[in-house]
Amino acid sequence: MRVWSVICVSLAFAVQIAFAQTSPELQTVLQQLQSEDNATRLQAMERAPEFGAAIIPHLPPLLTHKDWRIQRAAQIVLESIATRAAKLSAKERSETVHSLLTLTKPAQPLAVRKLALNAIAICGGDEAVPTLSTLLKDEQVREDALNALKQIGSPAAAKAVADAASTAKGDWLRALLATLGEMGRPEGVPALLTMLKVGDAQTKSVAAISLGRIGDARAIPALTSAVQQGVPFAYDALIRTGELLLQRKQTSSAVTAFEQALKLARTEHEKCAALIGLGKTGTAKALPVLVDALDAPEATVRGAAREALLAYRHPDASRGFTQMFQRANLTEKAELLRILVERGEPNVVKLLQQSASSPNEELRLTALELMGRIDDLTLERTLWEAILKGDKKTKTIALRSYLQLAELRARKGKSELARSMFEQGLKVAERDDLTELRNLALSGLALLGDPRSLPTVRRYLEQPEPPYYAFAAAVAIANNLAREGRKEEAVALLQDLFVMRMPRDLGIQAAQILSRLGEDPSAIPRRAGFIVRWWLLGPLPNPDNRAFDQAFIDETATNPLQLETVRVDNRLLRWREIRVLDPQGVVDLRQFFRQTEWVACYAYTEFVVDNEMEAELRVGSDDSVKVWLNGKLVHQFGGMRGLSVDQDRVRVRLQKGVNRLLLKVTQGGGGWEFCVRLVDLQGSPIAYREQ
């Protein structure tokens, strides 16, 4: 305590002398920094950095002031001076740094020394290195000095850290070694190599990691030896060294690093890292190593070799791949074909042709499978010959590839050629009962939508259960007919498809085409008895499906539309009218409301029948539903489910004239839909008029 008092008195005396020698403006700023008035102090904090090196000797008493607010103000000023100095000329910056260095002397309070070193870390250069190097031996501030050297990052700074490491021990030694890695300077390599050789286990690990961050070719032999000795992280450092060398265009050294890593690899992960690194080097030396790995027992290693070969870049890569293909075993050849096709190598057509006549079945079938990815007339002929003459397995693979080639040509705009191929393939698939390939051929016709394919497509539409893709092709053809201005043909085709009860998603597409043609698509579901005109009110809150039993309006009212707006949770909701385009009369409520989870809505409609009659309301819902007819609750389902048409059958009595139907449909998550169909007791649609 006595020593500290002496220091403070000495500082105060020194400051008084210095203060007397300062300019009036600087004296004013220093006084304002000690003001109890926040506004005055803030104004001084803004002005103080302009004095630069001149104000620094006056800051220690403020940095150790008993008032924390004044301490903090002085700290901010010191940081601001350093930040400003880093942007000034070399001379001005050097003056600031030398002034800061005076605050690092042992005579200064520890807090001042540390703050000064932090400021030097912001603006310091080589002029600070000798002092910082000395401070690395001072246990009180050595970590702060080390950080400053790291931020300076120059060769001189790195050498200072390396020199300190030569005499350091324990945790401090490891901190110095780690800093050398963070600095990434080659000046640190000799010290790291020494410690990798003679250090204890923990020190060797730190040295290995730091060498991996620097990426110096001198480290490869030492890291190789460290991996053999089982030094933790040495393998990763060897891989990282190769990657950094490659970034610096030191390809030969990078190859050496990756080759050593591959030889020493013990795990799949290590093998993969080495192979991918070799592939990035793009050297002729790497190619045979990568090809051999295509036959590795581990799937991940084979995958890494494949990835590396796909990324492989060499001026004479095509010739190299051809040579490798000739010497490869059958497994490697099959995988090489896939890689060469994906790379788009110019010689791959010849290799595919050669492999298609191989006595080895795996290689032969692989070649046929890949031919569909290349638009080449020679390969097309080879595929067609295999389709006509091959056994069932060969024919199946060849036909699939043939149809893939047709699709490739279709997407390239070769529509006429593609259509012919799809129709030829369809005949073969039908003849040999290859259902999957029949659907693939039909999907190709759907891709084209050529009206000339309609006779072919109609044959499949006439089957008892027409294939999905036959409907898809017909809808595509109708769309193109509409685009060509052949409205009557398009409408007639679409109406035929609706009679056949096409899949719902295709029905929606068909309805949209009709709508574009000026036709009323809702007429189709109406003929089947579906209600197609609705008014919706929502979304309504539905936590835990409570809306099912909560009335937001008078649910027994004969005309809910009399209330044009309804207030719910401070929101004003309005009824909105919609018409159903879905051929099955389904209303997808997600199309009309933004909020679609744990909500509900009302749906209201009016319809007119000529006579009083017994009837059935056939209701489908996702999820819960309540139904009121003419003000009376006639049906309810309170569970969670997906929608299907005619899900619930509700027997009702319709009154002559206007009938009013109200639904409440609640939603948890996922789909949110409903539909209502009006039929007689025999299940036939009831003709109705809209009110």
**How many CB atoms lie under 10 A from the CB of residue 397?**
22
Q: What is the pLDDT of residue 10?
A: 42
Using CA of residue 469, residue 470, residue 471, residue 473, what is the dihedral sign?
A: positive
Mean pLDDT across the stretch 340-352? 95
Mean pLDDT across the stretch 382-392? 95
Backbone dihedral angles phi then psi of residue 541, each to the nearest 5 degrees: -65, 140
Long-range contacts of 228-233 (CB under 8 A, 24+ apart): 228/264, 231/196, 231/201, 231/204, 231/205, 232/201, 232/205, 232/208, 233/205, 233/208, 233/209
Q: Is the pLDDT of residue 310 over 60?
A: yes
Q: Name the amino acid, one letter, at 116.
A: A
Q: 590, 530 in Cβ contact below 8 A? A: no
**How many CB atoms lie under 10 A from the CB of residue 182?**
14
Q: What is the pLDDT of residue 22?
A: 66
Q: Is the pLDDT of residue 122 over 70?
A: yes
Using CA of residue 344, residue 350, residue 353, residue 355, what is the dihedral sign?
A: negative
Backbone dihedral angles phi then psi of residue 685, each to the nearest 5 degrees: -60, 140
Q: Which two tokens stand for residue 590?
A: 């997600």
**How many CB atoms lie under 10 A from the CB of residue 557?**
15
Q: What is the pairing mode between strands 587-588 and 599-609?
A: unpaired
Q: What is the pLDDT of residue 446?
A: 97
Mean pLDDT across the stretch 653-679? 95
Q: What percent of the chain has pLDDT over 70?
A: 97
Considering only 16-20, 39-43, 141-145, 329-333, which range has the smallest mean pLDDT?
A: 16-20
Q: 615, 653 in Cβ contact below 8 A? A: yes
Q: Which two tokens stand for residue 272?
A: 């993969």
For 266-276, how does the pLDDT look when each residue is reduced to its tens digit (9 = 90+)?
999 999 999 99
CA 192 to chain centre: 39
Average predicted confidence (pLDDT) for the chain: 93
- 606/601 Cα distance (integer angstroms): 17
Q: 341, 374 in Cβ contact below 8 A? A: yes
- 218/236 Cα distance (integer angstroms): 16
**HEC states along 94-143?**
HHHHHHHHHHHCCCCCHHHHHHHHHHHHHHCCHHHHHHHHHHCCCCCCHH
For 28-52, how does the pLDDT look when each residue is reduced to its tens digit (9 = 90+)?
999 999 999 999 999 999 999 999 9
Considering only 242-251, 345-354, 497-506, which range has the smallest mean pLDDT?
A: 497-506
**CA terminus-to-terminus distance, the chain:** 99
Q: 642, 667 in Cβ contact below 8 A? A: no
Q: What is the pLDDT of residue 569?
A: 83
Domains of the chain: 1-152 (1.25.40), 525-690 (2.60.120)
Considering only 14-28, 41-55, 105-119, which range has the smallest mean pLDDT?
A: 14-28
Q: What is the pLDDT of residue 19?
A: 42
Q: Is the pLDDT of residue 4 over 70?
A: no
Q: Which residues of 333-372 are buried (b: 16+ CB within 10 A; e: fewer)?
A: bbbbbbbbbebebeebbebbbebbebeeeebbbbbbbbbb
Q: What is the pLDDT of residue 192?
A: 97
For 619-663, how does the pLDDT look when each residue is reduced to its tens digit (9 = 90+)?
999 999 999 999 999 999 999 999 999 999 999 999 999 999 999
Q: What is the pLDDT of residue 5?
A: 42
Tell me the C-alpha to C-alpha distance, in Å, between residue 241 and each of 153, 193, 435: 20, 14, 55
Q: What is the pLDDT of residue 566?
A: 85
Backbone dihedral angles phi then psi of residue 650, each to the nearest 5 degrees: -120, 115
Q: Is the pLDDT of residue 263 over 90?
A: yes
The closest of 366, 365, 388, 385 to 377, measured between CA atoms, is 385
Q: Is 317 helix (H, G, I), strand (E, B) or coil?
A: helix
Q: What is the pLDDT of residue 370?
A: 97
Q: 634, 676 in Cβ contact below 8 A? A: no
Q: What percent of the chain has pLDDT over 90?
A: 87
- 635/351 Cα distance (integer angstroms): 70
Largest CA distance in the chain: 114
Mean pLDDT across the stretch 451-466? 95
Q: Is 413 helix (H, G, I), strand (E, B) or coil?
A: coil
The closest of 546, 486, 542, 482 to 509, measured between CA atoms, is 482
The angle, 0 to 180 degrees and rounded to 10, between the axes of the packed helices 90-101 and 68-85 is: 140
Mean pLDDT across the stretch 267-292? 95
Mean pLDDT across the stretch 82-93? 93
pTM of the model: 0.71
Residue with tokens 């070694």: 177
What does the CA dihedral 194, 196, 202, 207 come to, rounded to 10 degrees?
90
Q: Which two tokens stand for residue 125?
A: 């250069």
What residues form DSSP beta bridges with 587?
Answer: 674
Q: Name the amino acid, one letter, at 100.
A: L
Contacts of 2 (CB under 8 A, 6+ apart): none
Q: Is the pLDDT of residue 120 over 80?
A: yes
For 136-166, how does the pLDDT look when each residue is reduced to its tens digit (9 = 90+)?
999 999 999 999 999 999 999 999 999 999 9
For 474-483, how does the pLDDT look when each residue is reduced to its tens digit (9 = 90+)?
999 999 999 9
For 486-526, how does the pLDDT look when each residue is reduced to its tens digit (9 = 90+)?
999 999 999 889 878 788 889 889 989 998 999 888 888 88
Q: Is the pLDDT of residue 368 over 60?
A: yes
The angle, 0 to 180 degrees and rounded to 10, between the axes of the packed helices 251-264 and 268-281 is: 160
Q: Is the pLDDT of residue 9 over 70?
A: no
Phi-psi label, residue 569: left if phi above 0, alpha if psi -120 to 50, beta otherwise: left
Q: Is the pLDDT of residue 228 over 60?
A: yes
Q: What is the pLDDT of residue 7?
A: 39
Q: Name the amino acid, one letter, at 481.
A: L
Q: What is the pLDDT of residue 229?
A: 95
Using CA of residue 169, residue 174, residue 175, residue 177, what is the dihedral sign?
A: positive
Cis geometry, peptide bond prior to residue 57 (ω within 30 degrees of 0) = no
